[in-house]
Amino acid sequence: MKPDVVTVAIKGVMPTANGCAVFIGNDEKTFVIYVDHSVGNAIQMTLKGEKKERPLTHDLIGSILLGLGAQLEHVVINDAREGTFFARILLRMENELGRKIIEIDARPSDSIVLSLQHKRPLYVARAVFDNVDDMSEVLERVLKQQAEESDDSSDSDSDDDK
């Protein structure tokens, strides 16, 4: 991939008062995008490989892409302005009429779910990546706190069995 983008992955999804914080990054840096609860849940379910009872909007989009013979190439979080992130979904279509690349403007939250579901790369524009605050320490603290709470609840469950 070109050097003007950085490969990233989802490092964690944490509930917040108004939705979910999605921690995105790599070994160099982690940043946060805030999404609504439903998309945060969709990201978590996809990361865990959980099946849904009924198809969600992202599943419908995947089915439409399949029906049209289009494949998700990758997703790029390409801009950030005043705390709002922007993304582009790149689709590839090949049929008897030829080959076509389609670029679609989309919310990063929806784009992330699609990239996870289709197991396709997630990139961030270098300019965006360089300008976001590094939240790696915050993520580490939250994960450590969750692990401690999980250990505490496991210990109390064990005590109840005695």
CA separation for the pair 1, 127 (Å, rounded): 15
Q: Please, are residues 124 and 116 in contact by the beta-carbon 8 Å criterion?
A: no
Neighbours of 33 (CB within 10 A): 22
Q: Please, are residues 8 and 23 in contact by the beta-carbon 8 Å criterion?
A: no
Tokens of 19: 């939705």
CA separation for the pair 115, 96 (Å, rounded): 26
Mean pLDDT, the chain cut into blocks of 10 residues (162 residues total)? 84 92 96 94 90 83 88 96 94 86 94 95 96 92 81 64 54
- Residue 54: its pLDDT value, please? 81
- Residue 2: its pLDDT value, please? 52
Residue identified by tokens 């590094």 is: 134
CA separation for the pair 122, 113 (Å, rounded): 10
Tokens of 41: 């849940």
- Residue 155: its pLDDT value, please? 65
- Residue 43: its pLDDT value, please? 92
For each of the domains in the chain, give its residue range(s) and CATH number, in order of start: 5-161 (3.10.690.10)
Q: C-alpha dihedral over 82, 18, 75, 138, to 10 degrees?
A: 80
Q: DSSP letter for 133, please.
A: P
Q: C-alpha dihedral over 25, 26, 27, 32, to 10 degrees?
A: 0
Q: Please, are residues 82 and 131 in contact by the beta-carbon 8 Å criterion?
A: no
Q: Please, are residues 76 and 128 in contact by the beta-carbon 8 Å criterion?
A: no
For the full predicted model, state whether its pTM sits above 0.75: yes
